[in-house]
Each structure stands twice: as C-alpha cells, then as structure tokens.
Amino acid sequence: MCKTTLFLGLFCVCTLIAAAADKPTKKIRRDGRYEAVVLTEANPNFDKANWFLPKPDGTYDAAADTAAEVLAHFHRQDKDRTKEGILIHSNTHSIPDTPKEKKLMSLHLLKIYSHKPWRDAENKLVDELVTICNREGIPVWINLTNDKADLFGVRLLTDPLLTLKKQR
C-alpha cells in the first residue's frame, strides 16, 4: 500500500510539472503592451477582485468587473498595443512563495497573499478571462515576479494551440 501511494504521489508531481512546462514562458518588456491589472485594494473584505485597465502610460483608463468588459476595452485599443495579447499584472496570482518575492511585497500584499477568499476571487477573475480569451484566440500572459526590472518573466495562461497559432 505504501509503495502504491508513493508511486501515485510521484506520478502526480511529474504530471503537474509536465503540465506547467507545456505553457510557454518568456522574458518581456512592458512598454506598449496591453495590460490588465488585478486590483488589490478595491474591496475591504478582499473577497472580490476586479480589473484596472491602464492607458499605455500607466494612468487610469477604465475599470472592469468581468472578462467581457476587459475584452470590449481590449478591442477598442490600437492593434500595435494588442498584437501580442493581454498581459495580466498581478501582485499575488502567479508569484512564487519564496523569500525573495515576499521581500518585495508590502504588508498589505503579504496579508492577502495568504488570504483564501482573496486568492479564490482572484483565481475566478483570471480564469474567466483565460476562458473567454481561449475562445477568441487571444494570448493571455501573467507576470511571474514582482521585480519589474527592464526584462521580466511571464507565463502563458491560455492554451498555446488556440492562442499562439497566429504567431507561428
């Protein structure tokens, strides 16, 4: 029984690693990209997440509660800005649980990083956008660090076969 459990656990870990590996990652610059930012201060109970949609210079342009609202805003933008899809900026979603990343977080971010209602709300918000973008063939990328140096790592959240076919 113990060997079977160990084997099953090892199989699950290998499957998760392989599933994560099939999603492309790359290093990018933010300049000129269409960005959707997960707001972390909007709800006092931290149980509902929504979007901040900045202009190219980073100032406020619009807010959105749903993926449909994000996509409506996305489609109104200049094609040069949207040609590589949507870059989600989140301070908590895909950020690894490492001392380096936690050192970059404010006390507020550290609090919500481990707050289950917030994580559930943020996951729901991001998953909704990924689902609709898979249908429309729009790549969705997300930051993998809060260290926004000149180049920083991102990971594709959408299905590469559905959303990167135009770029091949």
Kindly report, residue by residue over 18-62, the tens digit of the pLDDT: 444 467 899 888 888 999 999 987 677 889 999 999 999 999 999
Residue 106 to residue 92: CA distance in whole angstroms: 11
Residue 81 within a domain = yes
Given this model, what pLDDT does residue 2 score?
52
Number of domains the chain is built from: 1
Given this model, what pLDDT does residue 41 score?
75
Residue 18 within a domain = no
**Is the pLDDT confidence value at 9 over 50?**
no
Q: What rounded mean pLDDT belongs to the chain?
A: 86
Residue 89 within a domain = yes
Beta strands across the sheet bearing 25-28: 25-28, 152-156, 140-143, 86-89, 34-38, 51-54, 60-64
Place of tokens 């029984």: 1
**Nearest by Cα to 36 from 141, 109, 112, 152:** 141
The strand pairing partners of 26, in sequence order, are 154
Query: Which residues, other chains included, contact 149 with Cβ-Cβ below 8 Å and sequence gap of 6+?
Result: none
Residue 95 to residue 136: CA distance in whole angstroms: 26
Residue 61 within a domain = yes
Residue 83 to residue 76: CA distance in whole angstroms: 13
Place of tokens 């099953």: 8
* pLDDT mean over 87-100: 95
What are 143-164's pLDDT values in tens digits?
999 987 778 899 999 999 999 8
Residue 139 within a domain = yes
Residue 20 within a domain = no
What are 60-74's pLDDT values in tens digits?
999 999 999 999 999
Residue 94 within a domain = yes
Domain extent for 46: 25-167
Given this model, what pLDDT does residue 42 score?
65
Residue 74 within a domain = yes
